[in-house]
Amino acid sequence: MKKLIFCVLILLTPLSGHGQKADLLGTEHILFWTPEQQQSGYSSIADLGNTRLIKASHDVLNLPNSEVSLAGFEHSYKGTASSIDDFMQRTRTAGLLVIHDQQIVLEKYSLGHAEDKPWISFSVSKSVVSLLFGAAIKDGLIKDVNELATDYLPHLKGGAYADVRIKDLLQMASGAAWNEDYADPDSDVANAPYGPPALFTYMSQLEKKSPAGEDFNYNTGETSVAGALLRAAVGNNLSVYLQRKIWQPFGMESNANWLLSAPDGEEIGGCCISATLRDYGRLGLFALGNGRLADGTSVLPKDWVSQSTAPSKGSEGYGYYWWLQGQGAYAAKGVFGQFIWIDPSRNVVIAMHSAWPSAWEDAYEAEVTGLFQEIAVKLDAQ
């Protein structure tokens, strides 16, 4: 599972002097940050690296506190009852937010985190990109997901992506041969560039292992291609489009930022929006409401979220950059324990910031999924 959701190879170098930003695509992997580096660095990406600002809304979507409480709630862990505090300590959870019926039921922080601090999202950003593709289709900037990627990125003609549709990109089903092994220094993920034009050259030269649209193969470089395509379609930076279409209209409370592939460069398509936990929750509410604003305006096509969260041909557990959780629930997931979990049938959104000790922990994921499901069931029964 670690390979399937590690968003992009991000690296850390020490901060330069004279106000210069560090190159977060430099020489020391964020994968190997110490717990102390995680606690300070995950909330400080804008101070460390090259990012683009996403400005908060002037009309904030209020999240009132619910009269419903999860006080005393315990979930099953290895056959014994475990409190939420125990869970957070055991899994190095920095923030946990539960929203039910548009109201905050639970909000807890640890590891020095707080409600006004941003936190890096890793691959949670992919699901935001999925939402932005829907907005671009609604705006008429993209016709539909069956258009070829080369219609927007002609540099890809003649290579591995010549026959790949937008839909194939969103479902990780290009058919291109791609090695996502982070233990292999010769892997694609360790060597591919993240910004055009070098990105296009590298991706075009990949071998084809199956027809487009057939097989699911998690491909970090492909999400960079998707981000470049979206940028070409909207004619602007992704941060600006996100700010205009979702962040400000929906009422996000705090500024956010998006990591760039280079100074003043392109946003990394599949990674690294930093935002507060409450605004993670608001993103979940935006998806839950199918992109409808408070005044009733629809930012997305009416069936976009249901289309995005339908099983793909290559994977029953993956849609358009969303992980499908069963019983209609779906989630955005990022390495080191970042989540936005959405249960439409129970009107529950759960957001989580973490600093897991390794990029992906299957045992943690299993416990997180179980905890979220138990919380949703309990709230639905009250």
* pLDDT level of residue 3 (50, 70, 90 thresholds): very low
pLDDT given for residue 300 in this prediction: 98
Q: Band the pLDDT of 71: cuts 50, 70, 90.
A: confident
Burial label, 27 (beta-carbon count in 10 A; 0-12, 13-18, 19+): exposed
Mean pLDDT for 215-242 is 95
pLDDT band at 360 (very low <50, low <70, confident <90, very high): confident
pLDDT at position 179 is 86
Q: Which of 310, 293, 197, 205 is nearest to 252 (CA)?
A: 293
58, pLDDT greater than 80? yes
Residue 119 has pLDDT above 60, yes or no: yes
How many percent of the chain have pLDDT more than 70? 91
Report all structural domains of the chain as residue ranges with CATH numbers, in order of start. Answer: 2-141+235-381 (3.40.710.10), 142-234 (1.20.58.710)
For the stretch 8-55, pLDDT in tens is 333 333 333 335 665 554 445 566 778 898 999 999 999 988 999 999
User: Which residue in 121, 62, 103 sits closest to 270, CA to CA?
Assistant: 121
The DSSP bridge pattern shows strands 338-343 and 348-354 to be antiparallel
Give 67's DSSP letter: S
Q: Mean of the pLDDT values across residues 59-72?
A: 94
- Rounded CA gap, 354 and 109, in Å? 10
Mean pLDDT of 161-171: 97
**Does the pLDDT of residue 298 top 80, yes or no?**
yes
Instruction: Decide if pLDDT at 7 tops 50.
Output: no
Tell me the pLDDT band of 4, cut-offs 50, 70 and 90.
Answer: very low
Averaged pLDDT, 192-201: 86
80-83/74-77 β-pairing: antiparallel
Predicted pLDDT at 27? 47
43, 49 contact by CB (below 8 A): no
Whole-number pLDDT of residue 18: 39
Amino acid 20: pLDDT:
63
pLDDT band at 182 (very low <50, low <70, confident <90, very high): low
Predicted local distance difference test score (pLDDT) of residue 31: 66
Average pLDDT over residues 340-353: 98
User: Quick one: pLDDT at residue 176?
Assistant: 96
Distance CA 19, CA 129 (A): 31
Three-state DSSP state, 61: coil
Tell me the average pLDDT of the chain.
Answer: 90
